[in-house]
Amino acid sequence: LSGFLTFLCILLCWQTGSVQAEILLNPSQSSVSMAGKWELFSDPTAQLTFSDVRQLPSSSFEELTGYLNRGYTNEASWLHFSLELNEENSQRYFLWMGPCMIDEVSIYLQEDGPAKPKDGPREFHLGDNDAPDNRWLNHPNMIVPLDLEPHALLHVYIRVKTKSTHLLQGWL
């Protein structure tokens, strides 16, 4: 019994510690927590652009087992995950993030696939330094649309820079 409990604990720790940087979406899902589904790159200069970060090798990113929670730092935090729609019809999902008291949050959406292989990213700039009237949706929370085409891979990059704690939660 003792050996079985040890095996079970190891299995549970391994499962909860595994990160899925690529999320396969099914329209029957009502929501997906982003805890444990983000990868993090820390930019100590806080000067890198989306183009710079997009060209980094995947080994530059570390897996997060929960939400972003870095405390106070002058660095910029770059989060990344990818989405793929597992059906034949296009769908619109929404990425909801909080808390809303973060100075700068920039979201870059880059689709890979036959339809848009060379188009530039869609950009959304949120955070409490940006006026709510400039948002895609005039809402106190940070919400952006994710338009997904069947079997196309959507890369989502999120840049966080703030004078307060680097804490970001999200749901699809």
User: pLDDT-based confidence at 98, cuts 50/70/90?
Assistant: confident
C-alpha distances out from residue 164 to 26, 67, 75, 100, 127, Å: 35, 16, 11, 11, 12
70 vs 138, residue with greater confidence: 70
pLDDT at residue 80 in the model? 95
135 compared with 126, residue with greater pLDDT? 126
- What is the structure's pLDDT at 9? 35
Higher pLDDT, 40 or 92: 40
Strand-strand pairing, 76-85 and 39-43: antiparallel
Overall average pLDDT of the 159-166 stretch: 88
